[in-house]
Amino acid sequence: MAFDVGVYARTSQPVRWDDLDLTEFERRPLSEDALRCLRYMSDVETHTVCYLRDLLVTPSHADPEVTTFLTMWNVEEYWHGELLDSVLSMHGVETGAEHTARVRQRLGWKDRLAPIQQSLLANVIGEGFVATHMTWGALNEWCAHGAYTAMSSKEDHPLLTEILTRIAKQETRHVAFYASQARPRLARSRKARAVTRFALDKAWAIVGSSIMPDDEVRHMLNYLYAGPEGLAAVRRIDAKVDDTLPGMAGLQLVERQLVKHGVAV
């Protein structure tokens, strides 16, 4: 069934948590490892507007379906960050505008150059860029959904599970859009497949690793995916790439990230 971006735009809304009693975290707080991982997730979700900035200087901005989706995607991801910040705040972890500003300032010239680099890359890739963008987005959203699912299992906290389930439900629609766009674009163009495979193979890294310190990336991956169960979860994500995206089979991109960051599996 084709993804209807119009229906998505009309039904998109902030993730809800006004019906949840977050004071439950005072009675049953999360572990320090979980809070550190949530800090990572929140910082990544809150950075979405910066990713959007970088994408709007590429050919993706000319496709009205893509920009309709990106507009609503940005709003939903913003509220994911706000909800995760609310959980962190219940544990006394600093959140808010000052923290977000420090995260962005920490990137320095890397952040300032990002839209320029993205524009140059898009021009080098040419007509196949949107296929690459959509494929990259699908993989990132599969990883995000997988991370929320893994954390629910890891922490086994009913309220946290409910919160992460609500976020993951919206991530499922994000996956559906990206995958529905990537599949036909890859299927009809050998060049798009070749360029996208090369880009993923040489440049893709786990979500958040472009903005978070290496020790935080390692912690997140070890917390969520260390051990046989974690490896199996990662392989399920890689299998979705193999089964869904033409020409992308066999890359094992997420499992390679575990190896790169020394995750014990």
- Whichever domain contains 201, its CATH number is 1.10.620
29-43, 46-60, 188-202, 229-243, range with the lowest pLDDT: 46-60
Q: In which domain, by residue range, is 235 found?
A: 28-260
The single residue listed with the structure tokens 């599949």 is 183
The single residue listed with the structure tokens 């766009």 is 181
pLDDT score of 113 more than 70: no
> By three-state DSSP, how is residue 6 classified?
helix
pLDDT for 114:
75
pLDDT for 1:
57
Give the mean pLDDT of the chain: 93
Query: In this structure, is residue 146 part of a structural domain?
Result: yes
pLDDT score of 61 more than 60: yes
Domains held by the chain: number: 1
- CA distances, 66 to each of 127, 150, 242 (Å): 15, 29, 23
pLDDT for 135:
97
14-28, 44-58, 71-85, range with the lowest pLDDT: 44-58
Query: In this structure, is residue 3 part of a structural domain?
Result: no
Percent of all residues in the chain with a pLDDT value above 70, rounded to a whole number:
97
Query: In this structure, is residue 1 part of a structural domain?
Result: no
pTM of the entire predicted model = 0.94
Within the chain, residue ranges assigned H as helices are 5-11, 24-27, 32-46, 48-55, 64-90, 97-107, 109-125, 129-155, 158-187, 190-203, 214-225, 228-244, 253-260
Residues 6 or more apart whose Cβ sits within 8 Å of residue 32: none
pLDDT for 126:
66
Task: Please choose, from the candidates 93, 85, 105, 80, the residue with its C-alpha nearest in 3D space to the C-alpha of residue 31.
Answer: 93
Radius of gyration of the chain (CA): 18
pLDDT for 185:
95
Query: In this structure, is residue 18 part of a structural domain?
Result: no
Query: In this structure, is residue 242 part of a structural domain?
Result: yes
pLDDT tens track for 220-248: 999 999 999 999 999 999 999 999 999 99
One-letter amino acid for residue 84 of the chain: L
Residues 6 or more apart whose Cβ sits within 8 Å of residue 240: 142
Query: In this structure, is residue 4 part of a structural domain?
Result: no
Query: In this structure, is residue 2 part of a structural domain?
Result: no
Query: In this structure, is residue 225 part of a structural domain?
Result: yes
